[in-house]
Amino acid sequence: MRSVAIGLLVCVGVQGSLGPAGVSGRGGDVLAAEPVRPERQFTPEERTNIAVYEAVNRSVVNLNTRGAVAAGLFLVEVPSEGAGSGIVLDQRGHLLTNYHVVENAREIDVLLFDGSSHPATVVGFDPATDTAVLKVAAPPELLHPVTFGSSADLRVGQRVFAIGNPFGLERTLTTGIISSLNRSLPTRSGRAIKSIIQTDAAINPGNSGGPLLDSEARLIGMNTAIASRTGQSSGVGFAIPVSTLARVVPQLTAQGKVIRPDAGIARVYQADAGLLVAALVPDGPAARAGIRGFRVTKERRRQGPFVSEVTRIDREGADLVVAVGGQPVRTVDDFLSAVETKSPGENVLFTVRREGRQLDIPVVLGSEG
């Protein structure tokens, strides 16, 4: 049987009537007041948890999407539904989330902290970083922007906080530590996101697109994936660092896409010491700077009454790229990461090995996207 408290006064006698605390009843018995409990004391860790949640929980939204996906050989569209989290960027209605949360969505509903639901549209997206910016039609007073922090000085072992909507449970807080840094996370675009934050904070389906925070309630990353065979938290979660978000989000908000710098190198082969340039974009930045690729020549040969054309490829004169802007490159991913930290129009030194010599060749980057 459940006991229910019905008052603050405790009767210590068997006769008399209830009266004010500490006052004798008709039977002479004294009624004693229950002592006032002191205000609950929280540990420093609990106070930090509470402060982070109270500062940011209104900045987290619940996203519900509806769309259609192709099924079968005849590309029949079947209804699909999804859920995820989002982060309020400003009071104009811009929200940040993962691209995979809203990919192929025809309708997006945003549930705010007060329980109100509002439609949203996609402003821009970038599959290479699994990032999307939405805009919600909601009153400004209901939008509480998150505060951006820094991911440049993060340390393994640092305490972090994740807020999201796992399994549709709105604004759920989980805590943990940074368990590793500088992970690489592949995306469906074929590129890998660099400098990924690994955390053991519980991240489950529905957390994607939610914030990863430091102990001062500042955004340091966006939760994006978990490593699990079951799809549920297994102690390894990943977040896109805020340094990447700070570079991508302004472009998505302003122009709907990310315009990346382009070196004008079309194809390379990976070698032990760097990347061997195979082909250049005609009249592209690298070609104009004098970087050399494979030399392709064509010869015509006569065999009796027939004339054939033979293509010869000379690899001996091709440049081997070993560094971009002073950053060593050994893989294509290294190369793309080094180039994408620059801006279109920027003059960048490409360090190459050519015929036994090492040269620094300035390349004025173009743009793609």
Domain spans in the chain, listed from the N-terminal domain onward: 1-37, 44-258, 262-368
- 291 DSSP 8-state letter: -
- At the top level of CATH, the class of 44-258 is mainly beta
Q: In this predicted structure, what is the pLDDT of residue 299?
A: 67
| 272 has catalytic annotation | no
| DSSP per position, 60-115 | EEEEEEEEEEEETTTTEEEEEEEEEEEEE--TTSEEEE-HHHHTTEEEEEEE-TTS
As separate numbers, helices (DSSP H) first and strands (DSSP E) second, the chain gives 5, 24
Task: Of 138, 105, 139, give the one whose Cα is nearest residue 122.
Answer: 105
358, 323 in Cβ contact below 8 A? no
Task: Of 88, 90, 212, give the one whose Cα is nearest residue 151.
Answer: 212
86, 131 in Cβ contact below 8 A? no
88, 38 in Cβ contact below 8 A? no
State how far the alpha carbon of 282 is from the alpha carbons of 25, 259, 321, 342, in Å. 103, 20, 18, 22
Q: In this predicted structure, what is the pLDDT of residue 331?
A: 85
C-alpha span between 104 and 65 (Å, rounded): 9
C-alpha span between 335 and 275 (Å, rounded): 8
pLDDT by residue for the chain (369 residues), tens digit each?
A: 444 333 333 333 333 443 444 444 444 454 555 665 566 788 999 999 999 999 999 999 999 988 765 555 554 444 555 688 999 999 999 999 999 999 888 899 999 999 999 999 999 999 989 999 999 999 999 999 999 999 888 999 999 999 988 776 777 899 999 999 988 887 776 677 878 999 988 887 788 899 999 999 999 999 987 655 555 556 688 999 998 999 899 999 999 999 889 999 988 998 888 999 999 999 999 999 999 998 876 767 777 677 777 667 777 889 999 999 999 998 887 888 889 888 899 999 999 999 889 999 999 999 876
Q: Which of 85, 94, 130, 233 is catalytic?
A: 130
262, 270 in Cβ contact below 8 A? no
Query: Amino acid identity of 147?
Result: T
328, 334 in Cβ contact below 8 A? yes
C-alpha span between 247 and 258 (Å, rounded): 9
Q: In this predicted structure, what is the pLDDT of residue 9?
A: 31
Query: Amino acid identity of 11?
Result: C
CATH architecture of the domain 262-368 equals Roll (2.30)
Q: In this predicted structure, what is the pLDDT of residue 341?
A: 82
- Helix (H) / strand (E) containing 201: none
Q: Which of 59, 85, 208, 233 is catalytic?
A: 208
Q: In this predicted structure, what is the pLDDT of residue 297?
A: 67
| 94 has catalytic annotation | no
157, 201 in Cβ contact below 8 A? no
Q: In this predicted structure, what is the pLDDT of residue 71?
A: 56
| 118 has catalytic annotation | no
Task: Of 65, 7, 28, 47, give the one whose Cα is nearest residue 159.
Answer: 47
Q: In this predicted structure, what is the pLDDT of residue 192?
A: 75
